[in-house]
């Protein structure tokens, strides 16, 4: 019986696209993960202190609705940075993946919470329903998307495209309501708001620079800076 030599170069091994995606993303070192956890851990503590300060020392001239919206912003920041801290501090791969979905879902909540606070402070009541409905619907859809992607093992997709989604969610309302928001704020509050937006957006550059050591910790620092600037912008608006 004739035998045939194996055909070389004719049969290709199956390509694992998910594995390829993972290769393109440099895994953080242990030191980097500690820095990632500490930076947002500190941010979570600051968010908690900010919320407590609004409860204990509320602005005298502010309405209960605006104070509540500002507290909601602080709680959204606390949830976001707390989820991020849990993700980076976890050593269990399963828990790390789960907290990654919570982390990304919470970013949408933070964006919606930020807009809710500034809209309540600066916009006329008639503009609030369409803006808030759109923002919180987007935050809900993004949150569901994160967990669907997690269940299908699509974390690389999340890492590559989430930044663009969140930039769009934050800046599209600026194109529609930005002028009204700035007009409704005192000058110093408007400056702090703009500086916070710039800090967040600059942080995205660090977020996507995945080959740079400690890029993610830099992103975290700029997120904490942006949230802090926005808190003081709200305080200035309510003073």
Q: Is 216 annotated as a binding residue?
A: yes
Rounded Cα distance between 201 and 195, Å, is 10
| C-alpha neighbours within 13 Å on the C-beta side of residue 62 | 24
> How does DSSP assign 148-188, residue by residue?
HHHHTT-HHHHHHHHHHHHHHHHHHHHHHHHHHHHHTS-HH
Structural tokens at position 45: 């503590």
Q: Identify the CA nearest to 234 among candidates 79, 80, 53.
A: 53
Rounded Cα distance between 75 and 80, Å, is 9
In the block, which residue shows the tokens 């509320």? 58
Q: Is 87 annotated as a binding residue?
A: no
Chain centroid, CA 213 distance in Å: 20
Q: Is 40 annotated as a binding residue?
A: no
Rounded Cα distance between 117 and 65, Å, is 9
203 Cβ neighbours under 8 A, 6+ residues apart: 218, 219, 220, 221, 222, 223, 226
Rounded Cα distance between 159 and 140, Å, is 18
Tally of CB atoms within 10 A around 9? 5
The binding site for Zn(2+) comprises: 88, 216, 220
The binding site comprises: 88, 216, 220
């Amino acid at each position: 019986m004739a035998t045939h030599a194996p055909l070389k170069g004719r049969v290709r091994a199956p390509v694992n696209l998910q594995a390829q995606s993972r290769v393109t993303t440099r895994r953080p070192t242990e030191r980097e993960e500690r820095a990632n956890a500490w930076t947002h851990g500190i941010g979570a503590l600051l968010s908690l202190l900010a919320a407590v300060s609004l409860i204990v020392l509320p602005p005298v001239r502010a309405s209960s609705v605006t104070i509540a919206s500002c507290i909601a912003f602080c709680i959204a920041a606390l949830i976001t940075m707390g989820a991020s801290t849990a993700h980076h501090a976890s050593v269990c791969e399963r828990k790390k993946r789960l907290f990654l979905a919570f982390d990304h879902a919470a970013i949408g909540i933070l964006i919606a919470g930020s807009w809710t606070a500034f809209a309540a402070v600066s916009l006329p009541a008639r503009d609030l329903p369409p803006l808030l409905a759109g923002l919180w619907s987007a935050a809900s859809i993004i949150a569901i998307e994160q967990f669907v992607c997690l269940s299908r093992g699509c974390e690389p997709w999340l890492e590559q495209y989430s930044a663009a989604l969140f930039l769009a969610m934050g800046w599209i309302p600026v194109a529609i309501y930005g002028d009204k928001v700035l007009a409704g704020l005192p000058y110093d509050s408007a400056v702090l708001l703009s500086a916070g937006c710039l800090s967040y957006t600059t942080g995205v550059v660090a977020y996507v620079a995945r080959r740079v050591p400690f890029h993610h910790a830099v992103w975290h620092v700029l997120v904490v800076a942006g949230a802090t600037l926005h808190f003081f912008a709200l305080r200035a608006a309510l003073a």
